[in-house]
């Protein structure tokens, strides 16, 4: 029979009450990216397919007829790669090829590419209809973070 002190017993009791990964010392996982929209947008959730169409400019208007103004990050940063994989379901290289074909055929230009999370936040804050993405740990400033739903 194993005996334990009151302190050990209390610790074990508290440990059983706290779900795994949610202890006081455990940090919540940081998402790879956050999707942000202009603060004036009513959306709180956006379907992944709608976001993909917006960033590939297959859809150009919000439901209230406001122009969608997507903004990308540089192709070399991890957040761009992850956003492309998860939302666009394409590699960054495949997206670049897509835009080269669209430009060559005269069917559009890609979203602007900005140099940092902070630059994306400022751009989204300043442009009604804007949508962008930032690193999971970055501050969204006055922009609104929206959930991406399957």
Tens-digit pLDDT profile for residues 37-50: 999 999 999 999 99
| Whole-number Å distance between alpha carbons of 89 and 29 | 23
| 7 falls within a domain | no
| 103 falls within a domain | yes
| 6 falls within a domain | no
| 93 falls within a domain | yes
| 14 falls within a domain | no
Q: pLDDT grade, residue 29 (50/70/90)?
A: confident
Domain extent at residue 44? 30-149
Per the structure block, which two tokens stand in for 16? 């059983």
The DSSP bridge partners found for residue 35 are 133, 146
Residue 67 scores a pLDDT above 60 = yes
| 112 falls within a domain | yes
Per the structure block, which two tokens stand in for 143? 């922009």
CA dihedral (28, 29, 33, 37) in degrees, to 10, reads -20
pLDDT at 28: 64
Lowest mean pLDDT, pick from 29-38, 76-85, 124-133: 29-38
Question: Domains in the chain: how many in total?
Answer: 1
CATH number (domain holding residue 77) = 3.40.190.10
pLDDT at 17: 34
Q: Taking residues 102-125, report their average pLDDT.
A: 97
Residue 138 scores a pLDDT above 70 = yes
| 80 falls within a domain | yes
């Amino acid at each position: 029979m194993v005996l334990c002190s009151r302190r050990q017993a209390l610790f074990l009791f508290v440990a059983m009450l706290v779900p795994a990964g949610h202890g006081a010392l455990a940090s919540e996982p940081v998402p790879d990216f956050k999707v942000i929209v202009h603060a004036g947008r009513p959306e709180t959730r956006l379907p992944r397919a709608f976001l993909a169409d917006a960033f590939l400019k297959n859809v150009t208007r919000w439901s209230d007829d406001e122009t969608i103004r997507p903004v990308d990050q540089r192709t070399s940063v991890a957040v761009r790669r992850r956003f492309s994989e998860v939302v666009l379901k394409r590699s960054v290289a495949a997206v670049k090829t897509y835009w080269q074909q669209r430009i060559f055929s005269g069917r559009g230009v890609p979203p602007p590419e900005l140099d940092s999370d902070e630059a994306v936040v400022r751009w989204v804050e300043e442009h009604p209809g804007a949508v962008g993405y930032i690193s999971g740990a970055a501050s969204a400033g006055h922009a609104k973070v929206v959930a991406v739903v399957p």
